[in-house]
Every structure is written in structure tokens, then in C-alpha cells.
Structure 1
């Protein structure tokens, strides 16, 4: 569903079905994108509890130079 939705097109999310509901794992590029994914999954499965373990990765260039030893 997430990969085929043209507005989301997200392939990096793993969905696991457990006795207590769905757990979503992965990383996305913004908090807004994470919330949109959770909203769409909740719309599709309105009676199923959903737990999110979706992290937000940094998409901007580093602001400092990394110094290696």
C-alpha cells in the first residue's frame, strides 16, 4: 500500500503484524512524512492499534566538518 501510493511511494517501511496490532519500522526524511504514513495506515486499518518505530534521518548536509584521527 505504501509503495504503490503515488503520494507516498515509500519502500523503506517494514510493517509487522503482531497480536497487539501493527508495528511500523524504518526511516523517513521528515516528521511530516512519518505522520502522513501513520495517518494513511490508520485510515486503511481503523480498528487496528498501530505502533510506530519510524525514525527521521537527517537529509541536510552536515554543518560541521568531521575530523578523523
Structure 2
């Protein structure tokens, strides 16, 4: 891992045609990297982690990527 690894990972996420993700932050943490952000599904989170592992083997990756609710609510919201 070098001084530009975070930027290289960020660019790989944005430029990959299957991912095209710009909402994930990449932060150095010790000898590895932490991916932070929100995505719309667990599948998308898994694809992001897979891409980073494939393109940057040997770097420890921690995924702190949450999944936002993308579906419409199933109940009415009560306003007071």
C-alpha cells in the first residue's frame, strides 16, 4: 500500500462500469483500508468489497458500508 492507494481504490469504484460508485469513502486504518458509506442493497455492498479485494489483493479491507432502505414504507406514518 502506498500514499495513493486510497485514491486508486476510489477511482476504481467510480470507473468500474458494473459499480460506478462515488458515495463510498476510503480511509486508511493501520495497515488496511476502511470502506465507508451507504448503498441500496447487501448485494451492492458485496460487489463493492469483491471489486476492491480483486483489484487490490493483499490489502486488508474492512467494510463499514450500511444498507439504506430503498423500498416504499409498508405502513402509514402517523403525524402528531
Q: CA deviation at 1:18?
A: 2.2
- Aligned to 1:35, which of 46, 55, 74? 46
- Return the structure number with greater helix share: 2
SS in 1 for 2:51: helix
Aligned to 2:71: 60
- How far apart in 2 are the matches of 1:15 and 1:8? 15
Count, aligned residues: 69
Give runs of ≥4 in structure 1 deviating > 6 Å.
Answer: none
Give the structure-2-normalised TM-score.
0.82
SS in 1 for 2:65: strand
* Unaligned segments of structure 2, at least 5 residues: 1-11
Aligned to 2:7: none
Q: CA deviation at 1:65?
A: 0.6
- Aligned to 1:50, which of 57, 61, 64? 61
- How far apart in 2 are the matches of 1:18 and 1:56? 22
